[in-house]
Amino acid sequence: MADTAISVEHLSKAYRIARSGKAPDRLTEALVARARRPFHRREFETFEALSDVNFDVPWGEALGIVGRNGAGKSTLLKLLTRITAPSRGRIDLGGRVGSLLEVGTGFHPELTGRENIYLNGALLGMSRREIRARFDEIVEFSGVSRFLDTPVKRYSSGMYVRLAFSVAAHLETEILAIDEVLAVGDAEFQKKSLQKMRDVAKDGRTVLYVSHQMQTVSALCTSAVYLDRGQLVHHGSVEEAMTAYRESFETFSAQQTDAARRPGTGELRLTKVAVEEVRDPADEMSVEIEIEANPELVGTYFLSCHVNDDHGTVVTQCDSRLVGLWLDPSKPQRVTLTVKDLWLKPGRHTLDVFVCQMGILDAWRGAAAFEVLPHLPYPELVVDEGVSLGVVFSDFEYETWGES
Amino acid sequence: MGRVVSRIVITPPGALNLPRFRELWEAREIFYRFGARDVVLRYRQTVIGVTWVVLQPLVTAAIFAVVFGQVADLPSGDVPYFLFAFTGMMAWNLFSGVLSRSAPSLVANQALVSKVFFPRMLVPLSTMLSVLLDFAVSLVLFVVLLLVNGVNPGWAILTAPLWILCALVLASGLGLAGAALNVKYRDVTYVLPWITQVLLYATPVAYALDAVPDDIRWLFDLNPLTWLLEGFRWAFLGAPQPAVWQIWALPLTAVVVLLGGMLVFQKLEREFADVI
């Protein structure tokens, strides 16, 4: 057998969804149902969260797992960390898997920092001796040494997260699985964490990293798998996986131009959403929107336009009700939406446009996309550190008043 | 790189599978930490803290003494009624304590169950530590009471560990099954207190077996908890020895119940993270 850190063969995970009515979740219901039809097996629809996934990960690799929401990333990680059992297939792990699925899960608010280090360490698979040996290192890394004997419920959320991360980061397992936790703490701590993760991989151990954040995946990982609807589409270099991931967004938006494939009742459909494709961060944005007519529709309707950034975060929601715009469905409409004073950060942005009345008539996600150029809307240039945080830029000013 | 760690192979679970005992042993630190957490949490943010550990059984015993010793006039055989009832209470608390604390334990720790992997069985099992602590305190109190009353249990006291172990094993088996079922069917939380209450009345905890009418005596003889209580009183009070078949049947039943509980637990365990 090859000495791989992880070998996954024909791995599938199916969830059962009850077809008729709901599954009995009370014992009496289950018993009554069973008594009525003793040999009847409930009918289920199966939903394959992962199907027939195969890959090998050599030692010392940092593997990024990317994919859209619901692609099966977290399911894959849950299977690899043994939280849930596979339906089919085989996973062969070269050693213990430590997981950092959600920071602080194993923490109990009433226990002190010290007690939580021991409890959490044990949960993550460390022996008492291991924890004791690394105790000082953990405390130092987290920087909460002064509050070790305070119940963690009195910690600030930053301290809490730092301590939890430190425990997990000092795990000595051969494989370490992480689900988007690096987005915690202040910039300095994030940097420290990222470095720690790199050290782990350098040690010849293996890191699995699930994230939406392209930047961290590129910064941390040496290879990546790209999942799409439960299938492994790509396994190879990080760049290739990223390209595949980006393309999937384009395919998705291409499909969405076909109004019949979009969600919503369809009583009214958007016919056009257009925006300038390239812009500077502080430019005014104008979106042209056209909607068809439906004389049979009663009452008026409104629009809502969302601007999303690269990570899928909704940066702003422009709901026409807020500015008192209601449209008449009896004739086709042409609308121009102008957004002022919104300073977007460089990168790709997408627009989602919704046509709504009581419910949603048409939902067009990814209706248009545009690129914000990497120009800073500020008079001075600074190193990346000065602009790396935050979702948007803002128009700010400092005034000095001498000594206070 | 010479790695000495053994490989772990994960495959879909079979229909009947016993837990991986080696894994349980390797994760014993969790068992201990959970137990310690339960004890610490019970008395944190209380004014008198650990004193509660001693105070609780003491007060319970005092209530027992007044209610049963003075008010009710229940038969207790040769020994003072108070001691008789106290022994019953110790045995019963050991059994029902483990059962009633382990059954809701998985649901109470659902964040952990759905986010972190560790042998889940340790969650219900670890509840026995805090119950054992209470038992230990009661035991010390009991020894004092024995000395004060001048009761000598005789050599039968040597069998005491057996009865304690049987109580733990029996309760753990039921507790494991209860905890696993509770993940999917929360009804267990509501039904279990009734069952324990019925069992409390159906078991000679507060009364002697002699007080049971002869025509339904066989029913009591079928109850493994009766064997447990009789065993406890034999060991701790020097009461008449229970029938030999009962002495054999109890450990056997306990082990069978534990194995059954483990199988139920393992069978349901695969979907814990999905349904909890």
pLDDT digits 0-9 by tens, A339-398: 988 999 888 898 999 999 888 899 988 888 888 888 888 888 777 777 878 888 888 889
CA separation for the pair A157, A185 (Å, rounded): 9
Range A123-145 average pLDDT: 87
User: Residue B9 falls within a domain, yes or no?
Assistant: no
Q: What is the pLDDT of residue B1?
A: 40
Highest mean pLDDT among A68-82, A236-250, B241-255, B261-275: B241-255
Q: Of A55-69, A251-265, B188-202, give the range with the top mean pLDDT.
A: B188-202
Nearest Cα to A252, choosing from A82, A69, A34? A69
Domain with CATH 3.40.50.300 in chain A: 6-22+32-249
Say yes or no for a CB contact (<8 Å) between B273 and A111.
no
- The reported pLDDT for the residue numbered B5 is 57
Task: Say if B20 is an interface residue toward chain A (CB within 8 Å).
Answer: no
Nearest chain A Cα distance for residue B256, angstroms: 24
- Cβ within 8 Å of residue A259, ≥6 positions away: A266, A269, A270, A271, A362
Domain count within chain B: 1
More reliable by pLDDT, A400 or A44: A400
- Cα distance from A263 to chain B (closest Cα, Å)? 28
Query: Would the CB atoms of B8 and A93 count as touching at under 8 Å?
Result: yes
For chain B, give the number of residues: 276
Q: For residue B114, list chain A residues with Cβ-Cβ distance below 8 A.
A: 83
Task: Give A311→chain B minimum CA distance, Å.
Answer: 24
- What is the model's pTM? 0.72
Contact across the interface for B7 and A93, Cβ inside 8 Å: yes
Using the predicted structure, report yes or no on whether residue A191 has a pLDDT greater than 80: no
Residue B75 pLDDT class (50, 70, 90 cuts):
low
- Best probe of the B interface among A11, A84, A91, A208, by most B CBs < 10 A, is A84
Name the residue type at position B255: V
Interface test with A, best of B116, B121, B191, B271 (most A CBs within 10 A): B116
pLDDT on residue A289: 93
- B266: closest chain A residue by CA: A85
Handedness of CA A142, A144, A149, A154 (dihedral sign): negative
pLDDT (0 to 100) of residue B195 = 93
Question: Is the pLDDT higher at B14 or at B172?
Answer: B172
Q: Quick one: pLDDT at residue B69?
A: 65
Residue B8 lies in a domain: no
Report the pLDDT value the prediction gives residue A355, as an integer from 0 to 100: 93
Å between A172 CA and nearest CA of chain B: 12
Quick check: is B162 in a domain? yes
Per the model's pLDDT, the better-predicted residue between B97 and A123 turns out to be: B97
**Residue pLDDT, tens place only, A40-59:** 655 566 788 888 889 888 88
The confidence score (pLDDT) of residue B225 equals: 93
A344: β partners: A392
Size of interface A-B (CB pairs under 8 A): 118
**Are the beta carbons of B45 and A128 separated by less than 8 Å?**
no
Which H helix or E strand runs over A212? none
Of A226-235, B64-73, B263-272, least confident by mean pLDDT is B64-73
- Domain range for residue B45? 21-275
Report CA torsion sign: A76, A9, B276, B33.
Answer: negative
Architecture of the domain made up of A6-22+32-249: 3-Layer(aba) Sandwich (3.40)
Of A134-143, A293-302, B58-67, B108-117, minimum mean pLDDT range = B58-67
The pLDDT, as a whole number, for residue A182 is 56
| B36 part of a folded domain | yes
Q: pLDDT tens for residues B213-238?
A: 888 888 888 999 999 999 999 999 88
Instruction: Give residue A22's pLDDT.
Output: 52
pLDDT at A37: 67
Give the residue-averaged pLDDT of B13-23: 77
B30: contact with A, CB 8 A cutoff:
yes
Nearest residue on chain B to A203, alpha-carbon basis: B1
Residue A1 reports pLDDT greater than 70: no
Give CB contacts under 8 A, 24+ apart, made by A134-139.
Answer: A134/A170, A134/A172, A137/A170, A138/A163, A138/A166, A138/A167, A138/A170, A139/A166
* Chain B residue at shortest CA distance from A25: B185
* B40 in any annotated domain: yes
Contacts of B184 in chain A (CB under 8 A): 25
Which run of H or E residues covers position A400? none
ipTM of the prediction: 0.81
pLDDT at site A172? 76
Distance CA A164, CA B43 (A): 24
Any CB–CB contact under 8 A between B270 and chain A?
yes
Of the pLDDT bands very low, low, confident and very high (cuts 50, 70, 90), residue B167 is very high
Neighbours of A162 (CB within 10 A): 23
The chain A residue lying nearest B44, using CA atoms, is: A110
Dump pLDDT digits (tens) for A205-264.
Answer: 888 888 766 777 887 888 888 888 888 888 888 888 888 887 777 777 777 777 777 888
Position B84 in a domain: yes
Give per-residue pLDDT as tens, B115-144: 888 888 999 999 999 999 989 988 988 898
Domain A263-377, CATH: 2.70.50.60
Where along chain A do the CATH 2.70.50.60 domains lie?
Answer: 263-377
Q: B26: which chain A residues are within 8 Å (Cβ-Cβ)? A: 127
Instruction: Write out the DSSP string of A63-88.
Output: EEEEESTTSSHHHHHHHHTTSS--SE
Q: Which residues contact B83 (CB under 8 A, 6 or more apart)?
A: B145, B146, B149, B151, B237
- B14 to chain A, any CB pair closer than 8 A? The answer is no
Flag whether pLDDT at A19 surpasses 60.
no
What beta strand segments (E) does A181-251 contain? 206-210, 223-228, 231-236
pLDDT of residue B61: 72
